[in-house]
């Protein structure tokens, strides 16, 4: 196996790019995709350390993270569609600062 | 150069480039396609780390199901004009955010550089590491409770998205 640092460097780069995307972009779908990017980077680190320690527990964590990502994408996209209907077209994330029950 | 290093360089470069392209692309559909490519290259890295089960889960669930959901929403909303106008209002914050972001990237990569010099020191793995059977037996013996909690999470997500997607006047 390659030194685990190679995979961790790639993983931290991807995580940082995802974090930058959430900060810089205001398109809610791209922000959600950047969150997926960060989750993916975490998964890569888990798998790399799992292989390094020859322990398969990391694979189970990745399984749970993928499930959480699927749930998050479904609910997040549902919220985006609901907001889009409400605001009829303008979904600037900065204008969504009010909540109403 | 070993085969694993060649795979890592090719797929790692692809993953890094496509991850940056997700953030930089103006067109949302292009961003979705870049994220799918990123997920595929990460799946190849999982195979190199002998995690077959997770690699195929990644392709089937992430690249197959979740990204189709994203693409479907992008196509349904067709919101390019509104969002570009909104992004133009943030011109002042953008350079600062980009500078801070580049600093973040530099810091995390610098922080991991120390790991490069260390020898791999990985433990030997036995046959069947990362196979569906092994992952399944861990899920059903060691991690039974988290597995069941996952199904409750999915149920909550299903109910939540149905409630969110319902029109107000149907109540």
Give all domains of chain A, ordered by start, each with its CATH number: 4-88 (1.10.287.3510)
Q: Which residue has the higher pLDDT, A27 or B167?
A: A27
A79 burial level (CB within 10 Å; 0-12, 13-18, 19+): middle
If contacts are CB pairs under 8 Å, which of residues 2-61 in chain A contact chain B? Answer: 2-10, 12-21, 23-27, 29-30, 32-34, 36-37, 40, 43-44, 47-48, 50-54, 56-57, 59-60
Alpha-carbon distances of B23 from A1, A21, B5, B18, B41, rounded to whole Å: 31, 5, 27, 9, 17
Best to test chain B binding among A18, A41, A44, A70 (most B CBs inside 10 Å): A70
What local confidence, expressed as pLDDT, does residue B39 receive? 95
Q: What's the helix, strand, coil split of chain A in %, to 5? A: 80, 0, 20
CA atoms of B46 and B63, how far apart (whole Å): 14
pLDDT band for position A72 (50/70/90)? Answer: very high
ipTM of the predicted structure? 0.90
For chain A, the average pLDDT equals: 85
CB of B45 within 8 Å of a chain A CB? The answer is yes
CB of B43 within 8 Å of a chain A CB? The answer is no
Contact B169, A86 (CB under 8 A): no
CA atoms of B38 and A90, how far apart (whole Å): 29
Q: Name which of B147, B89, B162, B21 is nearest A64 in CA terms.
A: B147
**Residues of B with Cβ-Cβ distance to A49 under 8 angstroms:** none
Q: Which residue has the higher pLDDT, B145 or B77?
A: B145
pLDDT of B97 > 80? The answer is no
Give the contacts of A97 (CB within 8 A, at least 6 positions apart). none
For chain B, give the number of residues.
171
Q: Which residue has the higher pLDDT, B130 or A101?
A: B130
pLDDT of B93 > 60? The answer is yes
Closest chain A residue by Cα to residue B102: A20
Q: Which residue has the higher pLDDT, A101 or B135?
A: B135
What local confidence, expressed as pLDDT, does residue B120 receive? 62
CB of B7 within 8 Å of a chain A CB? The answer is no
Alpha-carbon distances of A90 from A83, A94, B92, B162, rounded to whole Å: 9, 11, 21, 23
Task: Return the structure tokens found at B92.
Answer: 């002042």
pLDDT of A44 > 80? The answer is yes
Best to test chain B binding among A8, A32, A78, A96 (most B CBs inside 10 Å): A78
Give the contacts of B52 (CB within 8 A, at least 6 positions apart). B46, B130, B131, B132
Percent of chain B surpassing pLDDT 70: 85
Task: Return the structure tokens found at A10.
Answer: 């790639």
CB-CB: which of B15, B42, B130 is closest to A59? Answer: B130
**Residues of B with Cβ-Cβ distance to A83 under 8 angstroms:** none
Percent of chain A surpassing pLDDT 70: 85
Contact B15, A9 (CB under 8 A): no
Over range B90-115, report the average pLDDT: 78
Is B128 strand, coil or helix? coil
């Amino acid at each position: 196996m390659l030194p685990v640092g190679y995979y961790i460097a790639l993983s931290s780069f991807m995580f940082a790019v995802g974090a930058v995307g959430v900060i810089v972009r205001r398109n809610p779908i791209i922000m959600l995709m950047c969150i997926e990017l960060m989750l993916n980077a975490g998964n890569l680190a888990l798998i790399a350390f799992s292989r390094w320690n020859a322990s398969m527990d990391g694979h189970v964590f990745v399984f749970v993270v993928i499930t959480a990502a699927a749930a998050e994408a479904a609910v997040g996209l549902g919220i985006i569609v609901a907001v889009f209907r409400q605001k009829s077209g303008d979904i600037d994330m900065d204008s969504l600062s009010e909540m109403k029950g | 150069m070993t085969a694993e290093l060649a795979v890592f360089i090719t797929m790692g470069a692809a993953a890094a480039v496509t991850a940056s392209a997700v953030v930089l692309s103006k067109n949302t559909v292009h961003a979705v396609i870049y994220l799918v490519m990123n997920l595929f290259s990460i799946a190849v890295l999982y195979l190199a780390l002998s995690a077959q089960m997770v690699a195929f889960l990644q392709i089937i669930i992430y690249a197959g199901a979740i990204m189709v959901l994203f693409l479907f929403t992008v196509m349904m909303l067709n919101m390019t004009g509104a969002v570009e106008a909104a992004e133009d209002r943030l011109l002042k914050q953008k350079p600062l955010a980009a500078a801070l972001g580049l600093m973040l990237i530099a810091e995390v990569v610098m922080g991991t550089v120390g790991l490069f010099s260390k020898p791999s020191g990985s433990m030997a793995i036995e046959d069947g590491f990362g196979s569906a059977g092994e992952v399944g037996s861990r899920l059903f013996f060691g991690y039974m409770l988290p597995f069941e909690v996952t199904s409750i999470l999915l149920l909550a997500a299903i109910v939540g998205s149905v409630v969110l997607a319902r029109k107000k006047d149907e109540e």
